[in-house]
């Protein structure tokens, strides 16, 4: 031991966590949400449509229109797919 420390393969107490976050496109996320069981409740999602943030559940899709039931609403409101900017799942 001559006082010089050689570098080792140990991280010296620093932990690194490799998390792989898979990011889906909007179309893939909608198809995934629609394929969930009909008997299970749809997850609450945050939709960004034309700069507006909406919180609700995806009910169904017809051609290029998606229907979202807002948190306290009873009717599903139609929105165009091309206006959809982002989808985030808030909780299942």
For residue 58, the enclosing domain spans: 38-91
Task: Look at the chain and report how many structural domains it folds into.
Answer: 1
Q: What is the DSSP letter of 90?
A: E
Is there a domain that residue 6 lies in? no
Model pLDDT for residues 71-86, shown as the tens digit of each residue:
777 899 999 999 999 9
Is there a domain that residue 57 lies in? yes
- Round the average pLDDT of the chain to a whole number and report it: 80
Sites in the chain below the pLDDT cut of 70: 1-22
Is there a domain that residue 14 lies in? no
* CATH code (residue 79): 2.30.30
Between the two ends of the chain, the Cα-to-Cα distance in Å is 57
| Three-state secondary-structure class, residue 59 | strand
**What per-residue confidence (pLDDT) applies to 8?**
53
Is there a domain that residue 54 lies in? yes
Is there a domain that residue 60 lies in? yes
**What per-residue confidence (pLDDT) applies to 24?**
77
Total-model pTM = 0.68
């Amino acid at each position: 031991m001559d006082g010089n420390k050689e570098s080792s393969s140990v991280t010296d107490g620093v932990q690194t966590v490799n998390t792989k976050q898979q990011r889906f496109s909007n179309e893939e996320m909608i198809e995934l949400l629609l394929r969930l069981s009909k008997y299970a409740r749809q997850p609450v999602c945050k939709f960004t449509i034309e700069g507006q943030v909406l919180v609700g559940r995806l009910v169904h899709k017809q051609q290029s229109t998606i229907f979202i039931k807002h948190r306290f609403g009873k009717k599903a409101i139609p929105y165009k797919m091309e206006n959809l900017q982002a989808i985030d799942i808030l909780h299942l």
